[in-house]
Amino acid sequence: MFEINDLRVFIRIADLKSVSAAAKSLGAPKSSVSRAMARLENMAGAALVERSSRHLRLTDAGHLLYPQALQILERVEVAMSTMVDHAGVPSGVLRINAPSAFSRCIIAPMLPSFLKRYPSILVEIVATDERINMLSGEFDITLRIGAMADSLLVARRIRSTELWTCASPRYLSECGTPLTLKDLLSHNLIGRADRLVSWFAGDTASDKLATDTLGRVKTLDSDIVEKILIHDGGIGLLPDYLAKPAVARGELVHLFSERAPLRAEVYAVYADHHSLSTKVRVFIDALLRSIEDLDSADVDT
Segment 178-212, tens digit of pLDDT: 988 788 888 999 987 766 777 765 555 555 555 55
Q: Which of 45-54, 112-121, 266-275 has the lowest mean pLDDT?
A: 266-275
In the 3-class helix/strand/coil scheme, how is the chain assigned residue by residue? Answer: CCCHHHHHHHHHHHHHCCHHHHHHHHCCCHHHHHHHHHHHHHHHCCCCEEECCCCEEECHHHHHHHHHHHHHHHHHHHHHHHHHHHHCCCCEEEEEEECHHHHHHHHHHHHHHHHHHCCCEEEEEEECCCCCCHHHCCCCEEEEECCCCCCCEEEEEEEEEEEEEEECHHHHHHHCCCCCHHHHCCCCEEEECCCCECCCCCCCCHHHCCCCECCCEEECCHHHHHHHHHCCCCEEEEEHHHHHHHHHCCCCEEECCCCCCEEEEEEEEEECCCCCCHHHHHHHHHHHHHHHHHHHHHHHC
Mean pLDDT of 155-182: 91
Look up the pTM and report it: 0.67
Mean pLDDT of 43-55: 83
Q: What is the CATH number of the domain that holds 113?
A: 3.40.190.10
For 54, the domain range is: 4-85
Mean pLDDT of the chain: 83
Q: How many domains does one find in the chain? A: 3
Same domain, 47 and 191: no
pLDDT > 90 in the chain, percent: 36
Q: Which of 58-62, 187-191, 276-280, 282-286 has the lowest mean pLDDT?
A: 276-280
Same domain, 76 and 169: no
Same domain, 256 and 166: yes
Same domain, 248 and 293: no
Q: Which of 53-62, 145-154, 220-229 has the lowest mean pLDDT?
A: 145-154
Segment 102-113, tens digit of pLDDT: 999 999 999 999
Q: What confidence score (pLDDT) does residue 298 get?
A: 65
Same domain, 151 and 278: yes
Query: Among the three residues 45, 62, 85, which one is the final residue of a domain in this structure?
Result: 85
Q: What confidence score (pLDDT) does residue 150 get?
A: 53
Query: Among the three residues 85, 100, 122, which one is the final residue of a domain in this structure?
Result: 85
